[in-house]
């Protein structure tokens, strides 16, 4: 039976949200047992307003959200979703990883790595979910 995994991607850049959604969709192969449904929001307020009642399986939270840092918003998201939450950044560093994990994130993902290709993005999402690269 085919499963649907819902990814909530919070990023203030609509082009980034669109590109990552398209990459994930293009990487889906016929016959795979996991389908990724992509939900997007420009910031944490929008994510909570639009998707709070949705069963989300993984959250990808950009660290630079206009004038706010995503790492400082993790606690608000944790009040609604207990799924794996990954901080996404174009400038990863160990201090940010420590802050993210101590705030409740599963870890940090590099934005450039996620946007390199659809297969890599899909694999990263499935691994972030604990579903494994094969979707099982």
CATH topology of domain 3-129: Rossmann fold (3.40.50)
Return the pLDDT at 1.
Answer: 67
- pLDDT per position as a tens digit, 93-136: 889 999 999 999 998 988 888 888 888 888 888 887 764 433 33
Domain ranges of the chain: 3-129
Q: How far apart are the first and last CA of the chain?
A: 11
């Amino acid at each position: 039976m085919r499963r649907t995994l819902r990814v909530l991607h919070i990023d203030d850049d609509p082009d980034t949200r669109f590109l990552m959604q398209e990459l994930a969709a293009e990487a889906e192969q016929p016959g795979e047992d996991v389908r990724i449904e992509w939900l997007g929001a420009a910031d944490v307020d929008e994510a909570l307003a639009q998707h709070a009642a949705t069963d989300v399986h993984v959250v990808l939270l950009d660290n630079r959200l206009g004038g706010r840092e995503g790492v400082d918003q993790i606690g608000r998201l944790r009040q609604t979703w207990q799924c794996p939450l990954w901080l996404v950044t174009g400038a990863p560093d160990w201090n940010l990883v420590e802050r993210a994990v101590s705030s409740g994130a599963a870890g940090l993902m590099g934005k450039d790595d996620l946007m390199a290709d659809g297969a890599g993005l899909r694999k990263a999402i499935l691994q972030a979910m604990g579903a494994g690269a094969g979707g099982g």
